[in-house]
Amino acid sequence: MLFYERQEYRDPAVSPDAELPSPLPEADKARNQQLVDKFQNQLYNATAETILDWANEHTPEAAVTLSMENTVLAELAHRHLPRADLLFLDTEYHFPETYEVADGVDKRYPARLVRATAVLNREEQDSTYGRNLYLTNPEACCRMRKVEPLQRALAKYGAWVTGIRRIDAPTRATAEAIELDKAGRLKISPLVTWSLEETLEYERHNGLIRHPLIDKGYPSIGCATCTLPVAPGEDPRSGRWAGQAKTECGLHT
């Protein structure tokens, strides 16, 4: 009789052994809270340019997070937040086209792109937690490959800039232009009032790098393993984690 050794995998609730950064100093949290209290209402429906000019005055060395779904934030930061870094969360599960866009951003805005990766590469994650964790436990996969890498990458910054729009999802319908994240950092979202059409028009008008999958039915682009095209008129984010009770990766919740 043949006996096969059963592979024991780690509980996906337990992340890889790597320390998360220390909390933001209380003095920095207090300063950020004062800025939010003073300017949040004023900036709620402000233009992207106004919001980024405000950020350049109050927190110029921020991290501008880019999913590479579009490159609008990179261009706006180039014009209005020139000391900020461009931060790309490389989950190692992206579409090849997404990496092509990232390489293009690196060339167009030299010496500004920072790539953040998870503690474990794909093969190491498979051997530690089992193959295809994105299917068996998508929450854990997003936590290890997006949320925790972002936390580590943001350790050197007092603020970060996001590309979320209020029209993207019900969970974002009341998103603020400026707020505090859970760590007490300033979270700045200059595109909150924009529509998808306005985003695409800004790309066209300014000759920006365009993600090729946008024209193939992918209005919202995440990891290749968890993103499907959507039919015209459907919710743009309905192709994200299709078939699963999941609408957010955890970066904005």
Assess if residue 183 is contained within a domain. Answer: yes
Domain span at residue 59?
A: 26-226
Total number of domains in the chain = 1
142 is in an annotated binding site: yes
CA distance linking residue 157 with residue 87, whole number of Å: 11
CA dist 229 and 234 (Å) reads 10
Global confidence as pTM: 0.89
What pLDDT is attached to residue 5? Answer: 47
Q: Note whether residue 252 is domain-resident.
A: no
Whether residue 231 lies inside any domain: the answer is no
Active site residues: 249
Q: Is residue 189 part of a domain?
A: yes
For the four alpha carbons of 5, 10, 12 and 17, in that order, the dihedral sign comes to negative
141 is an annotated ligand-binding site residue: yes
Task: Supply the CATH number for residue 67's domain.
Answer: 3.40.50.620
Does the residue 41 lie in any domain?
yes
pLDDT along the chain (253 residues), means of 10: 60 87 90 98 97 97 95 97 97 97 97 95 96 94 95 94 90 92 95 93 95 90 91 77 62 62
Whole-number pLDDT of residue 17: 80
Secondary structure letter of residue 147 according to DSSP: I
Which residues does residue 64 pair with via DSSP β-bridges, in sequence order? 86, 161
236 assigned to some structural domain = no
Give the model's pLDDT for residue 3. 44
pLDDT score, position 147: 94
Nearest Cα residue to 90 out of 53, 109, 115: 115
pLDDT value at position 231? 81
What is the reported pLDDT for 233?
77
